[in-house]
Amino acid sequence: MLEYRPGNSLLHRLNPLTKIVVAGAVIVCGFLLPDFRGPLVLLIAVLALAAVAGLLKRILLMAAAVLITLFIGVFVLQGLFHEGDGTALLSVGPVTLWLDGFQRALLIFFRIAIIVCAMLLFILSTHPKDLVIALNNRGVSPKLTYVLVASLQFTPQMQRRARAITEAQQARGLNVKGSWRRRIQALITIMVPLLVGALIGAETRALALEARGFSRQGPRTYLREVPDTTTDKVLRWAALVVLAGVIIWRVITWLN
């Protein structure tokens, strides 16, 4: 589910560095804004961009798995136990929902939601090879970019490998349903070849990279071209200017 999704939208065509800068600026601004309505507006903007890129449904499904449980926990801890100025939003018997605690819960939730949705949008709209080339063109070490891209691809690769192992085991008569003991036994049966296959795959990948001159020093050429257009430069500078403005505003507010 965390794999790149092809598309022809403006977001897909942007330089990966532009996406990193904009996503980072949005996340930092979300944490700097003191009221929950600020992060909410940023979250709506991120989801609108995801809708334009055709990734909204997938992002919502993936984010819901994390954010629903998070919202319940934050709502209970903040809304019911953080009194603030003592203003009650709702009272049901001995249980009181405090207004200040509820607003604080919304602020925390929207901030984390921005991180999750912005990172998902970046991963789903950015081809790993484009990210490597863009970083290498900026002078980043190929070893560092490989570690970054490998970490992004780790989950999809493990998902595919686990699915293949599960289907192979089921074809041989493995029962993955039933009691919890049987499920644990089936999980152990799947985990052993999964981990061994991951180790073998890592060694094979390392040998293949060295055979292609991965450690070679000097200039490199790429079959793919990742342009850095005027639009990319304008968006990066705009994101940095907005971020700087928010930081200055928060500093002035704090000093006053």
Q: Residue 183 in contact with residue 191, Cβ under 8 Å?
A: no
186 phi and psi angles, rounded to 5 deg: -65, -35
Kindly write down the DSSP assignment for every residue of 178-192, as one continuous string.
SSHHHHHHHHHHHHH
Mean pLDDT by 10 residues, the chain (256 residues): 79 91 94 90 94 91 87 81 70 74 87 92 88 81 73 72 77 68 72 76 72 67 80 93 93 85
pTM of the model: 0.76
Which positions ≥6 away from 34 have C-beta within 8 Å?
Answer: 107, 250, 253
Q: Which residue has the tokens 């968006």?
A: 235
> Where do the structural domains in the chain lie, given as residue ranges?
10-126+228-255, 139-211
Closest CA to 20 of 250, 248, 232, 245: 232
What is the spatial distance between Cα 154 and Cα 250, in angstroms, rounded to a whole number?
Answer: 38
